[in-house]
Amino acid sequence: MRRIAQVGVLAGLGVLALLMNAGTTLATPPTPTLVGAPFTYRATVQPFHVDSNDFKLYQKNPEDVVVRELTFAPHGDSGWHSHPGPVIVLVLQGTLVNYHANDPTCTGTTIVAGQSFLEPPGDVHEVRNEDPTTTAVVIATFLDVPVGGLFRLDAAKPGNCPF
């Protein structure tokens, strides 16, 4: 009887380990063709309030701002992910397509060099360089990042896109 109890405890621990790793196991990290981030800058910004005619920005608590340059090789992608706060992305070179997990048709939005886009907080998405020959380069500014915390949260493949 004692042996059965030991096997049951071990089986329970194995299931617990699987459940604890489910988020990482199901996450979709960037492909190896996401060449990388040549630079990442991070600084804590104290509370502030900016209010002009066309623009309002308010931060109640100290939060980090992170700025990164990301380079996507041909056919590179970001993997499915979200962010804790808004992200402003400037496309410097190439063309990217942004897909959203909540779009049942998996219709991406194309963004070309010289354009920018906003990624809202919590929006699960994947950015892809679908060009077979041209590298894409972006500058991303991550706002409302917890001090010392993650600015990117990996997400599981949503199932609405074939990739």
Collapsing DSSP to helix, strand or coil, 123 comes out as coil
Is the pLDDT confidence value at 4 over 70? no
pLDDT of 39 over the 50 cut: yes
- Distance between CA atoms of residues 61 and 127, nearest Å: 30
pLDDT, position 27: 65
* pLDDT score of 31: 62
Domains of the chain with CATH codes = 29-154 (2.60.120.10)
Q: What is the pTM of this model?
A: 0.78
**pLDDT tens, 79-107?**
999 999 999 999 999 999 999 999 999 99
pLDDT confidence bin for 36, thresholds 50/70/90: low
Give me the mean pLDDT over the 62-82 stretch.
Answer: 95
Question: How far, in Å, CA of 53 to CA of 30, rounded?
Answer: 39
